[in-house]
Amino acid sequence: MGETLLHLVSNAVDHGIEAPENRHSKPVQGTLELTAESRGALVVLGIRDDGRGIDRTSVLEKAIGEGRLPHDANSSEALEVLFQSGFSTRETADEVSGRGVGLDVVKRQTESMGVRLTVESDVGKGTTFALLVPAVLTQENLLVVRVEDTLYGVPGRAVLSVLQDEAQDGQSTLRFQGETLPVRSLATTLGLALEQAEKRFIVIELGGKRFAVRCEQVIGHFDLIRRPAGPHLRHASGVCASAQTDLGELVLVLDEGQFLTSLLRGSPSTQTTPAAKPAQRQRILVVDDSVVVRKLLEGVLLASGFEVRTAEQGQIALSYIDSFNPGLVLSDIEMPVMGGFELLRRIRERFPHLPVVLVTARSSDADQKKALDLGANAYVTKGEFASDSLVAIVERFYREK
């Protein structure tokens, strides 16, 4: 967190604290305060200054002028723009602000460690940045492999070897250190369609059992910061945590227990040629600000034969609808810039018959009533998420079309 804190402190000095003659009724000497406190399962790091604060109206006007926000955006959306690449409230750079590193980089750095960054500000009173650090973050050595467009992490302690041997058609066993091992397909074990040839072997030992697992591509061993997934996602997907590479790519960490169960249950998969893709697949647009949830929903739907596009908030999703032409939209409610309720309202204005399913952690009766009043076709809470039930809901709407 060192570089992140250093940048936020520099940002507070440069953009926050005024010159003595401009502090008016405040003490001539500015104050910059760093705090750390335990808050439940989080450690909250705060960087607070008693400077000029952020003028949301000015930020909003500049963001609209640069085309970063729509003309009907409101001041509550202004602070999120500060984290966008290339945006600055300073017209000229100096030795502090001209370092070439913006708040967008800070946000990417924090998110790569599973840390949430927030900002609060009052004009004339100051600004507070808060870093919400999960206390359960750990570093783990992972073997990262690719299945289609998704990276998966296998705990390094379970990997005995990565072999150069190429898988052969019909091969159901492999000799390794004098032992005959059953061969499994990684894609098939994960419940995914086998669309790319799996030519590489990794030898895995879990629960005292050894397997030769075929996979599409081995990226390599990495020491990554892992962030645990929620219990409902772990149960539904077999993913126990997430991590990010230095390049910002998401890695889904496989749960060892569920992975072993799938390996034991699966029969040897002998197909190494890519499966033919259907001529045209039904299209789903997934909208969620959590990259982990987007990847999990995308994986579930791809495995069921759908074509999927994802967006991190409602405004981006709206821009995709005309070009992607989805048959159904799956959306979260709480998202920056444009949330799920506003997205639903705008979809109904332009596409009154496009099915919209809200998948959210909010389970109150009031939220469900609001969703139905705005025209949602279904409401699924993440606490009750299960891959088979979600696919059943999606397929029902396609059958009804």
Decide: 223 and 124 in contact? Cβ < 8 Å: no
Which regions of the chain are under pLDDT 70?
Answer: 40-41, 89-101, 165, 167, 169-170, 195, 230-237, 266-281, 382-389, 399-401
DSSP states of 1-27 as a string? -HHHHHHHHHHIIIIISPPGGG-TTS-
- Say if residue 203 is in the same domain as residue 178: yes
pLDDT for the residue 272: 43
pLDDT for the residue 317: 93
Alpha-carbon torsion angle 324, 329, 335, 338, nearest 10: 60
- Say if residue 30 is in the same domain as residue 66: yes
DSSP states of 168-231 as a string? -TT--EEEETTEEEEEEEHHHHTT----S---EEEEEEETTEEEEEEESEEEEEEEEEEEEPPH
CA distance 318 to 350: 10
User: Phi and psi of 397, rounded to 5°?
Assistant: -70, -35
Q: What is the CATH number of the domain that holds 144?
A: 2.30.30.40
- Say if residue 86 is in the same domain as residue 182: no
pLDDT for the residue 114: 75
Nearest Cα to Cα of residue 319 among 328, 306, 310: 310
- Say if residue 130 is in the same domain as residue 152: no
Which residues lie below 8 Å from residue 279, measured CB to CB, with a gap of 6+? none
Q: What is the CATH number of the domain that holds 36?
A: 3.30.565.10
- Say if residue 196 is in the same domain as residue 305: no
Tell me the CA distances in angstroms from 378 to 208, 313, 329, one per residue in order: 44, 19, 11
Using DSSP, state whether 368 is helix, strand or coil: helix
pLDDT for the residue 279: 42
- Say if residue 244 is in the same domain as residue 361: no
Q: What would the pLDDT profile of 152-176 be if each residue is shown by its tens digit? A: 999 998 999 998 767 676 678 889 8
Q: In this structure, what token pair is assigned to residue 263? A: 């390996």
- Say if residue 297 is in the same domain as residue 384: yes
- Say if residue 258 is in the same domain as residue 346: no
pLDDT for the residue 39: 73
Domain count, the chain: 3
Domain end (from 100, 134, 168):
134
- Say if residue 93 is in the same domain as residue 146: no
**Does residue 377 belong to any structural domain of this protein?**
yes
Q: What would the pLDDT profile of 67-123 be if each residue is shown by its tens digit? A: 888 888 877 777 888 888 777 766 544 444 443 347 888 887 787 777 888 889 988
- Say if residue 309 is in the same domain as residue 393: yes
Q: Which domain holds residue 14?
A: 2-134
- Using DSSP bridges, classify how beta strands 209-215 and 179-185 pair: parallel, antiparallel or unpaired: parallel
- Look-up of token digits 């009043």: 373
pLDDT for the residue 245: 87
For residue 83, which amino acid is it?
F
Which residues lie below 8 Å from residue 115, measured CB to CB, with a gap of 6+? 1, 131, 132, 133, 134, 137
Q: What is the CATH number of the domain that holds 327?
A: 3.40.50.2300
- Burial (CB count <10 Å: 0-12, 13-18, 19+), residue 57: exposed
0.85 exceeded by pTM: no
- Say if residue 290 is in the same domain as residue 374: yes
Residue ranges in 37-77 assigned as alpha helix (H): 56-65
**Does residue 86 belong to any structural domain of this protein?**
yes
H or E element that contains 340: helix 340-350
